[in-house]
């Protein structure tokens, strides 16, 4: 049961966050052909918007049956989407008009990273915040497994809602991409930008929609991450690399690849740091006496969790450079 707690639940939660972040990265790459480095900080920024909105409710002592972070999420997503549009208009659009190369846009996005980080620190300092410091309880569900002679399965209420919200967002995105005119135009532009232009598709509109979706999903991912752990200015900057790894492993430009890559890396990381001796220990009676189960049998120490993503990324680039779903190879 320890396995379910540490791997299945933690992996699903981490995978959801990676998937939502990676979708944004992969969509931006598909449409605008550059690696949006500031995506992690867009997540952090979104989380702070959700936090600020929640504070309003906490201030008036209004509590909801679910965490306030989820209640305000749609509003925070809208704000983040608007800011993402603003950043595009102020930073990336002028460069695109001058015909800047992707690498120039990449460098610009590193600049945007520094700006967002600076602004967040200006308002919130460097401290750590939590949605649950203001009197709202973090409900913990425990399922008694004593009948199986095991420890209870434990997960928190935010973790449960997080997975539901992720599933919901992915379903909405799927409908948008396969069932609506604009969503199909987005796939068309990612597939063949020249032909999309020739077909009369309004490419400016598609670019705007891309930023709205990427910004909104980044906000959702950031808020969830901060609800699961805590909120700090470098919250998502540290996971921007596994998010890029997830997008590449899934196949750049492929939204479904990003989802698959996100969950793959989420599970791989939690499996990598899982202490296998907890599974072997109950069997120690059955094992020959010369086998001693060491106290820690995890593949990588927790501090090096991120390396798991990189090993998978390197393996993908070596054996299947276009990713699981055959994305762009550039």
Partner 1 sequence: MPLIEVRNVVAGYGGAPILNGVDVAIEASDIGVIVGPNGAGKSTTLKAIFGLLRVTSGQVLFEGEEITNSLPDRLVPRGLSFVPQEKNVFTSMSVEENLEMGAFVRRDDFSGTLEEVYAMFPVLKEKRRQPAGELSGGQRQMVAMGRALMSKPRLLMLDEPSAGLSPRYVLEIFEHIVAVNKAGVAILMVEQNARQALAFASRGFVLAQGQNRFTGTGAELIADPEVAKSFLGG
Task: Choose the stretch contacting partner 1; rule: CB under 8 A; options: 65-73, 132-140, 193-201, 279-287.
Answer: 193-201
Q: Does 184 bind partner 1 (CB under 8 A)?
A: yes
Min dist. Cβ of residue 244 to partner 1 (A)? 22
Given the complex with partner 1, which of 53 and 185 has the nearer CB atom? 185
Task: Tabulate helix, strand, coil % of the chain (nearest 5).
Answer: 70, 5, 25
Min dist. Cβ of residue 198 to partner 1 (A) = 5
Cβ proximity of 36 and 109 under 8 Å: yes
Burial class (CB in 10 A: 0-12, 13-18, 19+), 167: exposed
Please, are residues 190 and 33 in contact by the beta-carbon 8 Å criterion? no
Q: How far is the CB of 207 from partner 1 (least distance, A)?
A: 13
Residue 202 sits in the site that holds partner 1 (CB under 8 A): yes
Residues 183, 36 contacting (CB under 8 angstroms): no
**27 is a site residue for partner 1 (CB under 8 A):** no
Query: Which one of 139, 192, 284, 329 is in contact with partner 1 (CB under 8 A)?
Result: 192
Is residue 208 within the footprint of partner 1 (CB under 8 A)?
no
Alpha-carbon dihedral 38, 39, 45, 50, rounded to 10 degrees? 170
Which tokens hold the place of 158?
Answer: 């935010």
Listed ranges 8-16, 86-94, 185-193, 309-317: which one lies at the site for partner 1 (CB under 8 A): 185-193
Q: Which residues contact 59 (CB under 8 A, 6 or more apart)?
A: none
Tell me how many degrees the CA angle 236-238-244 measures, rounded to the nearest 5.
Answer: 85
Q: Single out the segment in contact with partner 1 by CB under 8 A; choices: 143-151, 194-202, 262-270, 277-285.
A: 194-202
Rounded to a whole number of angstroms, the minimum distance from the CB of residue 188 to partner 1 is: 5
- Interacting residues toward partner 1 by CB under 8 A: 181, 184-185, 187-188, 191-192, 194-203
């Amino acid at each position: 049961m320890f396995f379910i707690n540490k791997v299945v639940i933690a992996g699903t939660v981490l995978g959801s966050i990676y998937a939502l972040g990676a979708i944004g990265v992969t969509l931006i790459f598909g449409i605008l052909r550059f690696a949006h480095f500031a995506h992690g900080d867009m997540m952090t920024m979104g989380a702070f918007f959700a936090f600020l909105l929640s504070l309003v409710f906490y201030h008036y002592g209004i509590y909801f049956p679910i965490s306030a972070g989820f209640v305000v999420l749609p509003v925070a997503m809208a704000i983040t989407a608007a800011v993402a549009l603003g950043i595009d208009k102020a930073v990336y659009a002028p460069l695109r008009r001058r015909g800047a190369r992707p690498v120039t846009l990449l460098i610009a996005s590193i600049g945007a990273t520094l700006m967002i980080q600076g602004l967040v620190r200006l308002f919130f300092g460097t401290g750590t915040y939590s949605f649950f410091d203001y009197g709202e309880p973090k409900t913990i569900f425990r399922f008694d497994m004593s009948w199986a002679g095991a420890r209870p399965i434990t997960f928190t209420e935010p973790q449960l809602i997080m997975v539901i919200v992720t599933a919901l967002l992915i379903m909405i995105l799927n409908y948008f991409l396969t069932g609506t005119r604009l969503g199909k135009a987005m796939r068309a532009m990612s597939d063949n930008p020249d032909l999309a232009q020739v077909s009369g598709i309004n490419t400016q509109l598609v670019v705007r929609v891309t930023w709205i979706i990427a910004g909104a999903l980044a906000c959702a991912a950031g808020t969830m991450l901060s609800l699961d752990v805590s909120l700090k200015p470098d919250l998502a900057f540290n996971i921007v690399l596994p998010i890029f790894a997830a997008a590449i492993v899934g196949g750049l430009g492929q939204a479904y690849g990003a989802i698959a890559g996100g969950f793959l890396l989420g599970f791989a990381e939690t499996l990598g740091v899982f202490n296998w001796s907890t599974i072997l220990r109950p069997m120690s009676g059955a094992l020959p006496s010369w086998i001693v189960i060491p106290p820690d049998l995890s593949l990588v120490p927790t501090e090096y969790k991120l390396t798991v993503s990189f090993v998978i990324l390197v393996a993908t680039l070596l054996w299947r450079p276009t990713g699981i779903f055959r994305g762009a190879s550039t």
